[in-house]
Structure 1
């Protein structure tokens, strides 16, 4: 059980500094200096963990009130992260919240007095690559930081060539002009939507710091463009074909000057992909499994990981497919492999498994709807495994809440946008409910 205590540490003369101790699990203990003091250590009440009500302690009310606020803040933060969001709490996360509340250790570059839009945008990326985001309790993942850097570069190019930007200029006229600029440069509609989404995040963060009072970005018109794109999943028969592939006679195949596909690489990529398709893990998680990720409890085996994206702990049952993959390596997961190399191998694997159903893809680029037909294996990527798990589990009748507990989706709305079932498939699943029998 989490427990907060305050203790004093004697300083020079009679004074003493007040320190926070927070125990929140096995071997988890935060020791934190609040920066608050009692002028004479004899005026500290150990049982109440407050300064005594004596005249000589002129700051007693202010200090005691702050200690009460700190107590409530640390418990509220821990409950929100650990209980509500199922995030693995660390001392660094808690220190960040306390530092922010007490305005401690805020050097100029970490807490700028005032930055205009683009300088703040750059600061935001640099700061939250090292410090926990308030929304997740963890620093930006490397992939997220890369997306933000690309978005910053694109907005800066617009700033340098079209319109010099300030907070006040992010209005509805800017919105139209920026979208036209992105369309003219042939970006897809969903990529444009990502630019708007990130810009709204930056505008909101800077607004909360009182750097501006422009709320046009919150208007309905200032929306994130979006279109439904057909992202494939592999059904259980297709996954079985991949599982049964024999690569022993595969001849090495050069993809480019830097990468050659070999039978050993196909084996690793196939097994990593099948782990994802049977656990719902993202590439950042299934590609970093180790023997420590495999646990056994009451005769059953599980994969237990803390996700890279949002620091959630997931415990996932291991089925027969994953067991077979682990048994090939004496209980160890496959070795790590570069993400792009896995993608190269997966397309080769899909072709070898004859997953060649023609797929018609429609996408809006440059404001124009473009359509082309490709073989299904050409669309298989790392992320197809996770999408396949969620969709196949849903079609099998597994309760949505249980799938979400494994996949880490936080809301049903996001989950239902993620799975790939059409109206008929969903109706077929619903028809098996006892209400319709």
Structure 2
């Protein structure tokens, strides 16, 4: 006896069939009454004959549970037929299979897709909860912790805005040009930066579009030209290789601070996103090929594998640790302590950052070390690699950026540094 599940494609949905075989002559194929959207057919595992996890199918877990139950019941109740395959009553076999499938069909008929909320705030929360466990159609993966954090910030921002304006039962049809500009004015009045408000607009727009695509509303205002995310390039600092070397040579007796220093330097010479670096430190994986050791990770954001060659200074750090990487330390603690360490090794020259806060251009002047945090390490990697002459396409291999435009946002070389890099080009001879 052989029992398995198969997929039959349709125009909109793919039906899950079951097929029962006895020898060469008896084959019975029946519908399980379960169906999945055609765009989700990629989540069907033909080997396991179940849906892959995670997936974007609302009742995917329920379907898998019922298919497993059905498989178990078929083998349990029909095993007696396999003892004598020469005298099988096909009619009786079909009746037994139908009796097993019938309860399944009744349950499936009653199963309804969960009703999605109609109000903006309720749908916003549903979106966060659902796509924290299911694959997002926007990213092709379950939303990571960093992305979820930005959505939660946007939800909190919108909630504060509505409460400040005493708006209740906020509907998608209430979203218009007046709301868009008032929403921005609120953020500026609260003293948020232009980039932060732009990020909130982007996440809110994603929620509106998602609800629109699911026919929860028909308001297409978000598609108009004015309803856009905005941003500005801020001249955040990076650490030069000399400054990183000064940090490396700083004498530190405290083991905890020594770990923080080493983690930060590794970040400066690998260019890993902070989330990827934290994950790597929990489970380090190094591969050796082409005569060099490489960090090997699967990037959280892109889900792509990356191999990053280890610079000698990183190998020296591993050497003093008998080949081990420093232990995981939360990024908030690194952000706090790295400033004090950089102050000790002389990264104290004045630095001026220009950004838009509260709708106004603001110049903030502080000692350079005060602007440095975990994210500065990734900027330092991209900028120092660029200044050394590494082509943008090669930097992207390690940084994981999808376009030159994106990697250029991380390159903080000054106009003088950029000119110095190309001044020896044959064109100027």
- Per the normalisation by structure 1, the TM-score is 0.75
Indicate the SS of the match to 2:352.
strand
CA displacement at 1:228 relative to structure 2: 2.4
What's the counterpart of residue 27 of structure 1?
none
Indicate the SS of the match to 2:362.
strand
Distance 1:301 1:224, change over 3 A: same
Q: Deviations over 1:211-245 (max 9, x none)?
A: 11212112221122322222110111111111111
Indicate the SS of the match to 1:377.
helix
Q: Distance in 2 between matches of 1:325 and 1:382?
A: 18
Distance 1:357 1:71, change over 3 A: closer
What's the counterpart of residue 243 of structure 1?
248
Structure 1: gaps spanning 5 or more residues? 1-7, 11-15, 21-33, 46-50, 78-90, 249-262
Q: Is the 8 A contact 2:238 2:383 kept in 1?
A: yes
Distance 1:205 1:325, change over 3 A: same
Q: Distance in 1 between matches of 2:7 and 2:251?
A: 62
Q: 1:141 aligns with which of 140, 144, 149?
A: 144
CA displacement at 1:43 relative to structure 2: 12
Q: Is the 8 A contact 1:235 1:388 kept in 2?
A: yes
Q: 1:297 aligns with which of 285, 289, 302?
A: 289
What's the counterpart of residue 95 of structure 2?
none
Q: Please say which of residues 161-170 and 35-44 is displaced more in the overlay.
A: 35-44
Q: Distance in 1 between matches of 2:371 and 2:324?
A: 29
CA displacement at 1:400 relative to structure 2: 1.0
What's the counterpart of residue 200 of structure 1?
205
CA displacement at 1:92 relative to structure 2: 8.1
Q: How many residue pairs were aligned?
A: 373
Q: Is the 8 A contact 2:194 2:230 kept in 1?
A: yes
Indicate the SS of the match to 1:418.
coil
Q: Distance in 2 between matches of 1:278 and 1:265?
A: 21
Indicate the SS of the match to 2:354.
strand
CA displacement at 1:102 relative to structure 2: 12
Aligned pairs for 1:69-218 (under 5 A) are 73=42, 96-97=55-56, 111-162=114-165, 163-164=167-168, 165-218=170-223
CA displacement at 1:429 relative to structure 2: 2.1
Q: Distance in 2 between matches of 1:341 and 1:222?
A: 38
Question: Are positions 1:414 and 2:406 aligned together?
Answer: yes
Structure 2: gaps spanning 5 or more residues? 9-13, 65-107
Distance 1:129 1:39, change over 3 A: closer
Indicate the SS of the match to 1:363.
strand
Question: Are positions 1:265 and 2:268 aligned together?
Answer: no
Question: Are positions 1:333 and 2:325 aligned together?
Answer: yes
Distance 1:193 1:143, change over 3 A: same
Q: Distance in 2 between matches of 1:363 and 1:113?
A: 39
Q: Deviations over 1:310-336 (max 9, x none)?
A: 433211001101101111111111011
Q: Distance in 2 between matches of 1:151 and 1:109?
A: 30
Q: Distance in 1 between matches of 2:251 and 2:199?
A: 40
Q: Is the 8 A contact 2:195 2:232 kept in 1?
A: yes
What's the counterpart of residue 17 of structure 1?
5
CA displacement at 1:123 relative to structure 2: 0.4
What's the counterpart of residue 342 of structure 1?
334
CA displacement at 1:155 relative to structure 2: 0.8
- Per the normalisation by structure 2, the TM-score is 0.76
What's the counterpart of residue 88 of structure 1?
none
Q: Deviations over 1:92-130 (max 9, x none)?
A: 866515778999689999743453211110001111112
Q: Is the 8 A contact 1:200 1:217 kept in 2?
A: yes
